Structure 1
Amino acid sequence: MAPTPSPGKRRRLHEEISGDRSQPQAQRRVLSQAVRLWVLADKLETSEIETAYRLAQELGALRSSDIKFANLVLTAVKAPKRVWLALRREATGSNLSDEWLRSLNVLHVDWLADTEKKGIMQAYDAYRIVLPRDTAESAQKASPSASSSSIKKEVASPSCIKKESPSLSSPPSSTPVIPTSPPPPAWTNSEYSCQRPSPLRSAHNQPLVDELEVIRKQRDLTSQRWSERSYSMCLSAIKAYPRKVCSQSLKEVKSLKGVGPKMIVSIARPAESCQFCSSGQIVEAQQILSDPANPIMFSFMELYGVGPVAARELYEDGCRSNADVVARGKSLATHLDVADCLGILPDLKLPIPRAEVEEIASLLYEEARVVLPGCRYTICGGYRRGKPRSNDVDVVISHEGNGARIHDILDRLKRKGIMSYNVNVLTHSDEARLDAALHLNVAEIVVLPPRSVIVPHPKHRRVDLVMCPPQIYGAAVIGWTGAKTFEKDIRRWAKLKGYKFHSTGLRVRETGELVETPTEEDVFRLLGLRWMPPEWRNTDA
């Protein structure tokens, strides 16, 4: 792993990747800060180079101070060999490999002019300069060595595959089980996602939703909060829309609440000129994915306790893998020993099948009911919304007793070897703003379930164990079920109705008085919302 950069160098790296916030915003938002531009000098005057940079910045792109920070190169040269020589010449002193240079998108400068003229980021293919490959390298790739072939054969050989122990019955099929969803409520054209049914996957527009999600994540990564929110609202509206967007009239798409004017340009022009409808892709999304830095930072954002700002800073500090993040003392390592974190990290990266989620929740409940007889529980998170696999297990337990007894439950889990690590416990003493008698206790733990038919090969799994009194059980279950956009919009809707909504309860906005919500239905009724089954709250991509 690379050493930590100095503060000055780190600040410059931050500006190269995310933009300099002290600079004026783009006059015309056609490109984005996902484009980090470098212009090759060959066949261009200094004034022409500066004009290209100025135009790109006016359209929203970033100007790279060094080719090593760029992910898009413009050139006036059309001959591939000459472009390749120019690239290698300008990369001299930057310690950049030929492989890295060939990974760059190299386009003719006409791309920038056409992007400005047409008011939308143009697809690369018509402008791309295909760089030549070394003859020896190409021959090697075309004819793999005999030794590598023998290695592949050895790996694939049945004799090398470890046989399963016959001591247990065969586990259920690993094919993801997707539960049957109840019939959806009627679709409503509303700016509030909590008022319209959103499926797990859109039968009509999921490819478009996936493209928009890439751009949304990049906006989140670079702290462009208003833009990120716009993309969240747009993809949520399109995901819930019960017809194919590309088959609708421009007037119909413009009428969709949550789809702004800028989105219309990419997804709802006349079919022959609509970027997505004609190619099945949005150029900006493909540009973001082609930049090797972005997938790495996106993966950091999936780690426990790592948000977009931290993900960006970790990348700028030289981290290139999840193990690097933990080795820096971040993510779970903020609470646990680094060596322990590195040991369980491979397990935590694996998704959890529904049957295993249920098994873990049942284990937790059996121990909880010993400490708090009569308690009940609900599995929340993506599991409750119908996802076939989950990243962690969210369990909300309702109890009549003292919530501080969560520590007694954790002690039992530890003694029985179910809980392998206690990451963090948040109790009401940590949240003084909440009523002492009505609060949430949240234990962030790692469990290692015992071996069983359901779990023949136990792995460490992340669990959020949430305990709350019956008076706020409904609000807690809604809050921990998600999805994120659904939660944001139900809070906005609650504000409109004079309430504050949170997983810690529903309160009157003016007085702060708690309104009891023992069931989810109570929350919907008090807010004047029709009931939305959890399987239809999948408002995120």
Structure 2
Amino acid sequence: MKRTRTSTLSFSESEDSDGSTRSSFKRHKYSEPDTESDDIGGFPIKVFVVQAKVSPEEISELISMVEKQKNMRMLELCSIPAEADVIVTGIQMKKRLERHIPWQLARRRAIVNPQWIRDSVEKEQIMPCGDYAALQELHAETAHNCPNPKGCDECRGTSGPDAEVAPSSLSHKARYACQRASPLVCANQSLAEEIDILRRARELEGDAVGTLAYERAVAVIKAYPHVISPSRLESDLARISGIGTKLQVKIAEYLKKGQISEAREILASPRFRSLSEFNTIYGIGPVTARQLYDNGMSTLEHLDSYYGIRAHNPAIEEQADPNIIESRWLSIKGMPEVTIQVGLALRRDLSQKIPREEVCDMHAIVMKGLESLQHGCVSTIVGGYRRGKEESNDVDIVISHQDWRGGGEKIKGLCTKLVKHLYDEGLVTHVMHLSSFRPHNALRTGHWDSLEKALTIFRLPEADGKSRIHRRLDLIFASPEAYWTAVTGWTGSRMFERDLRLWAKDEKGYKFDSTGITRRHDSRLFYPKSEQEVFEILGLEWVDPTLRNTGV
């Protein structure tokens, strides 16, 4: 996992005096994009040592080597596997490793043998993790997740180029989610998922208060760094804001039975299953889902009949043809708009998760098309991808221009031009939403920002003569001065962003959204030149994007 304390828009490789290639990031001021300065590495790298199958003498040796690093502290030992960049082990079998580390976590870390520490310290450089993979079946993942890969960090690492090590001052007991470290896979992941079922049920039934309460509870559990036991529940977790008496009873039930009876009853409920299915279709929110169910519909096939969609044969590509499916058209743009009918016909495609490699392919094609329209644009893939998810529901890309002074004018109207270009190339097939920039309004109370954006359905070009499936692609254009607040605002998770706004309002007297930071008493605007500066202006400790996973 790439971690660095620099602020940047691009990844670069530089050559050391000995001729070797060193991966690094260019530190520069956003307002001076052509000015280069010193490169800086992303140290220290956190290392967790699995003590099983490693002798006490060897453990002492490894600890001593890490503590006696000569010129710089490249490595730092940590005590929690989920916080480590690299996991060192002598275990060579999956079943044995799973006794100490969840397999899902192992696939997201570099899992190396002890020799990696020895060679990295001796040679004073991070050695390629793939050469020291402890488990053969994790060789590809270990090479992929190495904290010092040679190549594109945007497509290989789990963090964005502006990520850094989460400071130790982050506390799981903090009131706001934006003050806590919430890993993708936490120490109590299965409990968080069980409680999230309760949240989903409240959300589908329109219980806003209950939804928020359980969402906050999930966020607290995601940040809790220890495996919850009855003693910890009583002595520690119960005292944290967001874990009330009723929830404590449910957690106690889970600790005793391995499940929560209410959650099991919800999953078995025909109404819950129907509402959940309906809610996966674009254009059908919880309110519409309840209306459809109350009108006697319980399956997607019922919706097909209600909305006039043909049966799922022939193939999805034929069903998606605008000539077959009734679809409104954006009269000005000349592109088909997504309706509930289109969402139903494309549901098999849109329900499939998008792997990280395909996210990178989509990003590369979008930026190639953008370069043909406007030179000098920069971008960051945000959303779940930036938070480290192996698979995404959709792809979100924030785009700006590297020219701080004139970039705002250069990207005006570029969103529409890009979508039209991608549509003409047969890549964008439908548009859900297309908007232009609106003036910043410090009095606006809603959180739907005024950036230029396009929410689309995208399909990669054919590969080996086979059609690719449809994917959700959101393009967000921000002026250079709003680029980093846009990146922050679109990275998520939902509770992290909610509490970021709440912290800004209640603790600092500011208003935060994706278009900037406004001081409420005089409407002064702050335009940070890095994501770290976003946190600094708000008076918050930096939280790595991979530690903003407040949901399951």
TM-score (norm 2): 0.60
The amino acid that maps onto 1:447 is: F
Describe the SS at the equivalent of 2:431.
strand
1:446 corresponds, among 443, 449, 457, to: 457
Q: Does 1:240 align with 2:223?
A: yes
Question: What's the offset of the Cα at 1:350?
Answer: 1.1
Which residue pairs with 1:493 in the alignment? 503
Gap change, CA 1:369 and 1:326, over 3 Å in 2 = farther
8 Å Cα contact 1:403-1:468 kept in structure 2: no
Taking CA–CA contacts closer than 8 Å with sequence separation of 6 or more, which of the two structures ends up with the larger relative contact order? Answer: 2
Q: Within 2, Cα distance between the matches of 1:287 and 1:353?
A: 32
Question: What's the offset of the Cα at 1:427?
Answer: 1.7
Q: Does 1:263 align with 2:247?
A: yes
Q: Within 2, Cα distance between the matches of 1:515 and 1:299?
A: 42
Which residue pairs with 1:376 in the alignment? 378
8 Å Cα contact 1:326-1:338 kept in structure 2: no
Deviates more, 1:438-447 or 1:179-188: 179-188
Which residue pairs with 2:260 in the alignment? 282
8 Å Cα contact 1:347-1:461 kept in structure 2: yes
8 Å Cα contact 1:439-1:468 kept in structure 2: no
Gap change, CA 1:341 and 1:508, over 3 Å in 2 = same
Q: Does 1:320 align with 2:276?
A: no
Question: What's the offset of the Cα at 1:320?
Answer: 2.9
Question: What's the offset of the Cα at 1:423?
Answer: 2.5
Which residue pairs with 2:476 in the alignment? 466
Q: Within 2, Cα distance between the matches of 1:319 and 1:291?
A: 15
Q: Within 1, Cα distance between the matches of 2:208 and 2:175?
A: 18
Describe the SS at the equivalent of 2:477.
strand
8 Å Cα contact 2:274-2:298 kept in structure 1: yes
Which residue pairs with 1:519 in the alignment? 530
* Identity level (%): 34
2:281 corresponds, among 285, 292, 303, to: 303
Q: Within 1, Cα distance between the matches of 2:509 and 2:440?
A: 23
Which residue pairs with 2:425 in the alignment? 416
Q: Within 2, Cα distance between the matches of 1:530 and 1:238?
A: 20
Describe the SS at the equivalent of 2:511.
strand
2:178 corresponds, among 188, 194, 201, to: 194
8 Å Cα contact 1:375-1:398 kept in structure 2: yes
Q: Within 1, Cα distance between the matches of 2:269 and 2:196?
A: 16
Which residue pairs with 2:491 in the alignment? 481
Gap change, CA 1:326 and 1:240, over 3 Å in 2 = farther
Q: Deviations over 1:376-406 (max 9, x none)?
A: 0010111111111111110110131142222
Question: What's the offset of the Cα at 1:365?
Answer: 1.1
Q: Does 1:221 align with 2:230?
A: no
2:516 corresponds, among 505, 525, 528, to: 505
Question: Which contiguous aligned blocks of 4+ residues in structure 1 show a shift greater than 6 angstroms?
Answer: none
1:347 corresponds, among 316, 327, 349, to: 349
Describe the SS at the equivalent of 1:445.
strand
Q: Which has the higher helix share?
A: 1
8 Å Cα contact 1:446-1:463 kept in structure 2: yes
Question: What's the offset of the Cα at 1:303?
Answer: 3.2
Q: Within 2, Cα distance between the matches of 1:353 and 1:174?
A: 14
Q: Deviations over 1:488-529 (max 9, x none)?
A: 000110002011111222112233332112321121010011
| Structure 1 unpaired stretches of 5+ | 1-172, 268-273
8 Å Cα contact 2:281-2:347 kept in structure 1: no
Question: What's the offset of the Cα at 1:247?
Answer: 4.8
1:254 corresponds, among 231, 238, 254, to: 238
Gap change, CA 1:241 and 1:512, over 3 Å in 2 = same
The amino acid that maps onto 2:376 is: G
Q: Within 2, Cα distance between the matches of 1:345 and 1:474?
A: 33
RMSD over aligned Cα, in angstroms?
3.1
8 Å Cα contact 2:201-2:272 kept in structure 1: yes
Deviates more, 1:334-343 or 1:303-312: 334-343
Aligned length: 358
Q: Deviations over 1:86-116 (max 9, x none)?
A: xxxxxxxxxxxxxxxxxxxxxxxxxxxxxxx
TM-score (norm 1): 0.61
Q: Within 2, Cα distance between the matches of 1:311 and 1:338?
A: 12
Question: What's the offset of the Cα at 1:449?
Answer: 0.8
Gap change, CA 1:338 and 1:298, over 3 Å in 2 = closer
Describe the SS at the equivalent of 1:245.
coil
| Structure 2 unpaired stretches of 5+ | 1-139, 146-156, 309-325, 329-336, 402-406, 444-448
2:189 corresponds, among 206, 209, 218, to: 206
Q: Within 1, Cα distance between the matches of 2:546 and 2:489?
A: 14
Which residue pairs with 2:40 in the alignment? none
Question: What's the offset of the Cα at 1:434?
Answer: 7.6
Q: Does 1:406 align with 2:415?
A: yes
8 Å Cα contact 1:479-1:487 kept in structure 2: yes
Gap change, CA 1:422 and 1:366, over 3 Å in 2 = same
Which residue pairs with 1:427 in the alignment? 436
Question: What's the offset of the Cα at 1:466?
Answer: 0.6
Aligned runs of 1:26-425 on 2, under 5 Å? 184-186=166-168, 187-188=170-171, 189-202=173-186, 204-249=187-232, 250-267=234-251, 274-322=252-300, 324-325=302-303, 335-336=337-338, 340-399=342-401, 400=407, 401-425=410-434
Q: Within 1, Cα distance between the matches of 2:230 and 2:500?
A: 30
8 Å Cα contact 1:333-1:341 kept in structure 2: no
Gap change, CA 1:214 and 1:520, over 3 Å in 2 = same
Describe the SS at the equivalent of 1:517.
coil
Q: Within 1, Cα distance between the matches of 2:282 and 2:494?
A: 16
Which residue pairs with 2:37 in the alignment? none
